[in-house]
Chain A
Amino acid sequence: MKRIKRTDTQKTLLTAALGAAAACGASAYEVHPLGTNMPPLDFHAFISQGYLKTTDYNYLANDTKNGSFQFTEIGANVSINPFPRTRIAVQGFAFDVGNVGQYDPFLDYALIEYTFSDQIGVRGGRIRRPSGIYNSIQDIDLARTFVLLPQGIYDARWRDWSAGLDGVDLFGSIQMNKAGSLSYEAYAGYVSMADNGGVARYAENGLPPAPVGEFNGIDTAPIFGGQLWWNTPVDGLRLGAAYAYMANWGYNSTIIPPYGPGHIHSVGNVPLQQYSAEYIYKSWTFQAEYYTYDFEGHNYLPAMGDYNIGTTGDNPETWYVAASHRFNHLLEVGTYYTMFKDASAKQNDAALCFRFDLKDWWVFKVEGHYLEGTGLLRDNANNPVQSNNNGWFMLAVKTTFSF
Chain B
Amino acid sequence: MSQYVLDRLAQELGPELIGTHAQHGDETALVTPQALRRSALLLRDDPALAMDMLVDITAVDHPQEAQRFEVVYHFHSLHHGHRVRLKVRPDSAEEPILDSLTDLWKGADWLERETFDMFGIRFAGHPDLRRLLLYPEFQGHPLRKDYPIDGEQPRIPERAGYPECDYDAEEDSERRAKGLQRALSPRVGPGVAATNGSRATHDEDGYPVPRQSFFLDMGPSHPAMHGTIRISVELEGEKIIGCDADIGFLHRGFEKMCENRTFNQAIVYTDRLNYVSPLINNVGWAMTIEKLLGVEVPERCQALRVLASEISRVADHLTCVAASTMEVGAFTAFLYLIEGREELYKLIERLCGGRVTTTYTRIGGVAADLPDGFAEAMQAAFAKTREMMSDVVKLLNGNRIFQDRMVGVGAISAADAISYGITGPFLRSTGVSYDVRKAAPYCGYEQYEFEVPVGSNGDNWDRYLVRMEEMRQAMRIAEQVMATLPGGPIRVADRSIVPPPKSEVYTTIEGAMNHFKLTMAGHGVSPPPGEAYGYVEGGNGELGFYVVTDGSDIAYRAHCRPPCLAPMSALPSILTGETVADVIATFGTVNMIGGELDR
Are both chains from one complex?
no
Interface residues of A (CB under 8 A from B): none
